[in-house]
Amino acid sequence: MTSKKKLLIAIGAIIIIVGAWFFFFRNSEPEIINRNSKGTTIVAFGDSLIHGVGSTEGNDFISLLSQRVGQPIINLGINGNTTVDGLARIKKALDKDPKIVILLLGGNDYLRKVPIETTFKNLELMVKAIQKQGSMVLLLGVRGGLLTDIFADKFEEFAETHKVAFVPNVLDGLIAKNKYMSDAVHPNDAGYKEIADKVEPVLRMLLK
């Protein structure tokens, strides 16, 4: 066998191996605790973004998700909530017998200068309580900072460590764009539609 043929065979083998690796990891679902949850509801838990501040009636992203997946989603978003507030009322979400809890908190922590360690410790306690209930967590990331995002890597690491479904920074690509935002931190109808587009495929994966 000539050197040229050996080289072509080696290159072909590498392409096959890389292709197989790419296909496997791109098409495999992440490991998620309580993947076979017996819960009966979907609960959205968090702050003003969950509540839908800035949207017109029925155009917040939780309502849009509910319409798209054809299932009711209980909205437990409260304006201004921090992770401390969320931890204090997480039982209200658990009382709804959730199969999935969509969790979005942290933005108000940043605005109120809550230490990042406190923010993620509170998120950890909420996630553990949800998982102990037998429910899945769909964690939605938020941005921590204008010029630099101190939350980005922490959210990624957190989601992997705690084996939760995850959508990074839901406001990515929306902030400071008038066509998407009703004010500096809250989307308008168009912005909430963009968030729903990001979250929908992950939610559908959990509902399989």
- Which ranges of the chain have pLDDT less than 50? 15-27
Please tell me the predicted confidence (pLDDT) of residue 146.
80
- DSSP-assigned letter for residue 30: P
Q: Please state, in angstroms and rounded to a whole number, the distance separating the CA atoms of residues 72 and 75.
A: 9
Other Cβ atoms within 10 Å of 4 Cβ, number: 8
pTM: 0.86
Q: What does the mean pLDDT of the chain come to?
A: 91
Q: Please state, in angstroms and rounded to a whole number, the distance separating the CA atoms of residues 179 and 55.
A: 13
pLDDT digits (tens, 9 = 90+) for 22-37: 444 344 567 999 999 9
pLDDT digits (tens, 9 = 90+) for 155-187: 999 999 999 999 999 999 999 999 999 999 999
Q: Please state, in angstroms and rounded to a whole number, the distance separating the CA atoms of residues 134 and 69.
A: 22
Long-range Cβ contacts of 169-175 (<8 Å, 24+ apart): 169/141, 169/142, 169/143, 170/49, 170/104, 170/140, 170/141, 170/142, 170/195, 170/198, 170/199, 171/49, 171/142, 171/143, 171/195, 172/143, 175/143
Please tell me the predicted confidence (pLDDT) of residue 98.
98
